[in-house]
Amino acid sequence: MATTQDQTYHEEGTLTHDMHEEEHHHGNFITTYIFSTDHKMISKQYLLTGIIWAFIGGLLSILFRLQLGFPEMDMTFLKPLLGKWITDTGTLDPNFYLALVTMHGTIMVFFVLTAGLSGTFSNFLIPLQIGARDMASPFLNMLSYWFFFLASVIMFASLFLESGPAAGGWVIYPPLSALPQAIPGSESGMTFWLVSMALFIASQLMAGINYITTVINMRTLGMSFSRLPLTIWALFLTAVIGLLSFPVLFAAALLLIFDRSFGTSFYLSEIYINGEALPNIGGSPILFQHLFWFLGHPEVYIVLLPALGITSEIIATNSRKPIFGYRAMVGSLLGITILSFVVWAHHMFVSGLNPFLGSIFMFLTLIIAVPSAVKVFNYLTTLWKGNIVFTPAMLFSIGLVSVFISGGITGIFLGNSAIDIQLHDTYFVVAHFHLVMGSASFFGLMAGVYHWFPKMFGRMMDKQLGYIHFWATFIGVYAVFFPMHYIGIDGFPRRYYSFSTFDSFNTFADLNMYISIAAIITFTAQAIFAFNFFYSMFRGRLAPANPWKSNTLEWTTPRHPGHGNWPGEIPSVYRWPYDYSKPHAKDDFIPQHIPFSETPESNLPHENNLIGIEQEGEETSKVDEPNAK
Amino acid sequence: MTGLIVGIGVILVVVILFTIFRILRLINIARGSDKKQASSGNKANAYLMLGFLIVSAILLTWYSVDEFETYTVPVASIHGVEVDRIFWITMIVTGVVFVVTQILLFYFSYHYRYREDRKALYYPDNSRLEVVWTIIPAIVLSLLVFSGWKVWTDITAAAPEDAEEIEILGYQFAWTARYPGKDDQLGNFDYRLIDAENQWGMDFTDRSSFDDFSPLEIHIPKGKPVLFKIRARDVLHSVYIPEFRLKQDAVPGMPTRFWFVATKSTAEMREETGDPDFNYHIYCTEVCGRGHFSMRVRLVVDELEDYMAWKAEQQPWLQANPDYLAKVPHDLKEVAVISAGLDQLENNQAEKEN
């Protein structure tokens, strides 16, 4: 029943679509593909930029993994690429090593996992899943992408500066980042970094305001907050976090610009460098750390929440089961959102912070582990007694849960200030955040791309290649990051150019080599994805209307949704998005736009009561508790 | 030439892979398997899930047990033992959660793989279950936090009165130490007084500075509290001694501190690790520039009496750099000469000349 209806809807859809085409397709190449105000095109622009950045960021990590895994290696063959950063003896310049680490972090955190992930899916999914024609402000949306693009250009340009790009670590702690005499990366490289980030923050704020406004104001008839797909909840809360925390990074960056260029002393005090005592007195480097991590920690959740939202949706769809504990899932997202603002100083336990403050932040930090644990248990219960279809998106979602557990658990060590004394700034931290934030978010990004590719481009990606890509990546990230725990427990500090100069740190030469090889293989395997992505865009199998038999609204649009998404009226919503395998239903899914009056056989008692009033639209959302027993 | 051959080889491989991909795709289309909800690939993935679980469990166990000695650092301080204790308690507690959740994840994925004849269970929520698994982690975490907090407050409590005060100064790219000398008082400092010789910016208008000394190698006593007063001169650094479970950032403009009691002398550690060349070092763990990775200094832990003897032998800095007497105010000059032992030096020289 549900499917037949779905199909009829689509046939009608195509009919009206044809009529609409004359109205809407008057854009030329520039307005359609470049300065587009259509949320779907903007999302593809974000995605494409994100993918390009991911390959650049990955390549940088391969370069420094070569140095760490093969410290004796002759790198002369890289001279055509890196020029003077390869010394005459064929070794990598230590300053450039630090620049590589810094740029890898910056690019991955901000440009790939923030812009590439939430930029892509907020833009794509918010209007389509809540039933809106576009964003609240399409122009602001376009502006947001182009600010990001400008930020990208400046950051990319900084890679080619004579003095090299920023090199003080992605956290750019002053005084190192403030004093050009301390490291060459703090010359124009840091200026470029700061300007680029300022533009990036502006871009994120414009985007965030838009996402929030759209979700609050533009939901279709019947789409109450309690019927929102978890993707939208996650993207909505991500935007809230970004809006509240990014301005603080802007302030931090601005003060750093003042310190660097206008002689102020916000972060500088009592410094003697290169035979010279600087006049700055009274500033505090700790102030910068507070400001930075006030964004920096919520940032972790900015990259993670969209991934969690995406996987919630995909795991439910492909387990053919409702997500377990919808309200608990929303509750834990809310809990994470609020707590993410009060845990930042756990990055600073040994920074010289007052130990009492350290205690407070230790307690707050470990509270945030509770909602994360609840999410994991709910994922597991969703899989339990499901009927699991392993699409590539589903594989990446399961992979996400696995790396989220592995990386989340080590957070309990690091959040404990006493244990953190030993583990702080060692490879244990590197392992922790690459699993819980890097890999988990990356897996969310990949899951999202595989899942919504048919809606984005109207074609299917190749499933077999997706499988190969998943297993190579999944085994790869564990092979790369898991051994780093051991190296970290042994006390190896991070951001070290070389360990071979120390006897005591030379124990893991073989393990480091193995990690580097694994990293190179994993990185190379991403070419499979790139091929699949671009090939399928043009040559992939034509996508059916609802390839994953999913409940959410985006699958009610035509194969190529035009400007305005739905050719006719926007469908109304009558139920929550997780009616999978409902007892007595004819099919194993009932999309959100099917009224209860059409599914008398599967309705729960309280749903039958809604039949009379549900046509009145908005009313129903107030009386309806979609998942109440 | 080799470049060309490699290039052609790579192109060939890519072409071959592409052809295989095309053929497999056509076969799939001919079979119609791409139209089914779950193709044979579904089963393969389910088995791979199980395989991954088993293989990685074996690798994890093998490496963790077999290489235990390699990846653990011997502990040599009193608070370090406590840190290690809660580290391993946390490891056991979270380890159990890790193992159970991963097994469930992969086992469910394997066991509940798609079957056409089955329908998934419609099971949207269970409040009691959710309350239970919110409260249990909350309790467990509270216990972990609480034990951590106790250790943390002990570590960060004020140092005992009798602690040996040593100033550790970090700069690009080395560590140096300053000891208070016979008066057990470190002299004042001012960063504007720093120059090529006076690296600490010792203030010679303060009489406590006169007998301060700076050795080439840092010595500390075993079994006696030691208080590190930590400073940085240029950028952030971080004092890190893995065996003591000691880490504290060095911040320009804001002195920090860390106190501890070493429990094993260098000689004892050499015996314990079986490495005759073992030495303690202070490393840097806050990125500080080009030489960050090589910023370290050797640290020797002596038995208390050896330490005292060593300390008594050390020459005050002012004694080695008598030019700086010029910076001492007139009324303190005599005190300075005596404190720095310059008078004895002169006497000795006079005796020699005689």
CATH of the domain at A461: 1.20.210.10
Is B50 inside a domain boundary?
A: yes
Residue B234 and residue A271: Cβ atoms within 8 Å?
yes
Is B259 inside a domain boundary?
A: yes
Residue A271 and residue B191: Cβ atoms within 8 Å?
yes
Closest CA to B122 of A178, A215, A324, A120: A324
Is A23 inside a domain boundary?
A: no
Closest CA to B144 of A232, A418, A421, A598: A418
B85 compared with B70, residue with greater pLDDT: B85
Task: State the complex-level ipTM.
Answer: 0.93
Q: Is B153 on the interface with A (CB under 8 A)?
A: yes
What average pLDDT does this structure show over B73-79? Answer: 95
Find the DSSP H helices in A263-416: 285-319, 326-339, 355-383, 392-414
Chain A's closest residue to B104, CA to CA, is: A380
Domain match, B111 and B233 both: no
Q: Cβ neighbours of residue A556 under 8 Å, at least 6 residues apart?
A: A6, A9, A10, A13, A566, A571, A591, A593
Closest to B83 (Cβ–Cβ): which among A173, A366, A418?
A: A418
Q: Is A380 left (phi over 0), alpha (psi -120 to 50) or beta?
A: alpha
C-alpha to C-alpha distance for A159 and A166, rounded to whole angstroms = 8
Is B28 inside a domain boundary?
A: no
Q: Is B144 on the interface with A (CB under 8 A)?
A: yes
Is A590 inside a domain boundary?
A: no
Contact criterion met (CB below 8 Å) for A200 and A110: yes
Closest to B102 (Cβ–Cβ): which among A373, A402, A471?
A: A402
pLDDT tens per residue across span B284-326: 999 999 999 999 999 999 999 999 999 999 999 998 898 898 8
- Domain extent, residue A272, equals 39-539
Percent of chain B with pLDDT over 70: 95
pLDDT tens per residue across span B326-342: 889 988 888 888 888 87
List chain A residues with CB under 8 Å of B153: 355, 359
List chain B residues with CB under 8 Å of A499: 293
The alpha carbon of residue B308 is apart from the nearest alpha carbon of chain A, in Å, by 28
The alpha carbon of residue A176 is apart from the nearest alpha carbon of chain B, in Å, by 5
pLDDT at A15: 41
User: Count of domains in chain A?
Assistant: 1
Q: Which of B138, B156, B174 is the last residue of a domain?
A: B156
Chain A's closest residue to B149, CA to CA, is: A359
Is B144 inside a domain boundary?
A: yes
List chain B residues with CB under 8 Å of A390: 38, 41-42, 45-46, 109, 113-114
pLDDT at A621: 45
What average pLDDT does this structure show over B33-43? Answer: 72
- Domain extent, residue B145, equals 38-115+125-156
DSSP per position, A15-57: HHHHHHHHHHTT--HIIIIIS---HHHHHHHHHHHHHHHHHHH
Closest CA to A331 of A403, A225, A439, A215: A225
Q: What one-letter code names the amino acid at A564?
A: G
Is A614 inside a domain boundary?
A: no
**Neighbouring C-beta atoms of residue B301, cutoff 10 Å:** 27
The alpha carbon of residue A357 is apart from the nearest alpha carbon of chain B, in Å, by 11
The alpha carbon of residue A320 is apart from the nearest alpha carbon of chain B, in Å, by 6
Q: Is B62 on the interface with A (CB under 8 A)?
A: no
Domain match, B58 and B149 both: yes
List chain B residues with CB under 8 Å of A282: 253
pLDDT at B22: 84
Domain match, B207 and B145 both: no
Q: Is A290 on the interface with B (CB under 8 A)?
A: no
Q: Is B248 on the interface with A (CB under 8 A)?
A: yes
Number of A to B CB contacts under 8 A, please give it: 340
pLDDT at A317: 95
Burial of B322 (C-beta count, 10 Å sphere; 0-12/13-18/19+): middle
Please report, for the domain that includes residue B307, its CATH number: 2.60.40.420
Domain match, B146 and B174 both: no
Q: Is A94 on the interface with B (CB under 8 A)?
A: yes
Low-confidence ranges of chain A (pLDDT < 50): 1-23, 617-629
List chain B residues with CB under 8 Å of A588: 119-120
Is B288 inside a domain boundary?
A: yes
Torsion sign across C-alpha atoms A222, A223, A224, A226: positive
The alpha carbon of residue B267 is apart from the nearest alpha carbon of chain A, in Å, by 16
Q: What one-letter code names the amino acid at B39?
A: S
Chain A's closest residue to B116, CA to CA, is: A387
With bands split at pLDDT 50, 70 and 90, how would you rate the model's confidence at B225? very high
Residue A373 and residue B137: Cβ atoms within 8 Å?
yes
Beta bridge partners of B164: B226
The pair of structure tokens assigned to B35 is 């139209």
Is A51 inside a domain boundary?
A: yes
Q: Is B122 on the interface with A (CB under 8 A)?
A: yes
Is B31 inside a domain boundary?
A: no
Residue A419 and residue B45: Cβ atoms within 8 Å?
no
Is A432 inside a domain boundary?
A: yes
DSSP per position, A292-306: HHHHHHHHHHHHHHH
Is B27 inside a domain boundary?
A: no
Q: Cα(first)–Cα(last) distance of chain B, in Å?
A: 81
C-alpha to C-alpha distance for B21 and B16, rounded to whole angstroms = 9
pLDDT at B346 over 80: no
User: Count of domains in chain B?
Assistant: 2
pLDDT at B352: 62
Is A194 inside a domain boundary?
A: yes
- Residue B277 CA, distance from chain mean position: 21
C-alpha to C-alpha distance for A552 and A546, rounded to whole angstroms = 10
Contact criterion met (CB below 8 Å) for B198 and B214: no
Q: In chain A, which among 260-289 make CB contacts under 8 A with chain B?
A: 268-273, 275, 277, 281-286
Query: What mean pLDDT is reported for chain B?
Result: 91
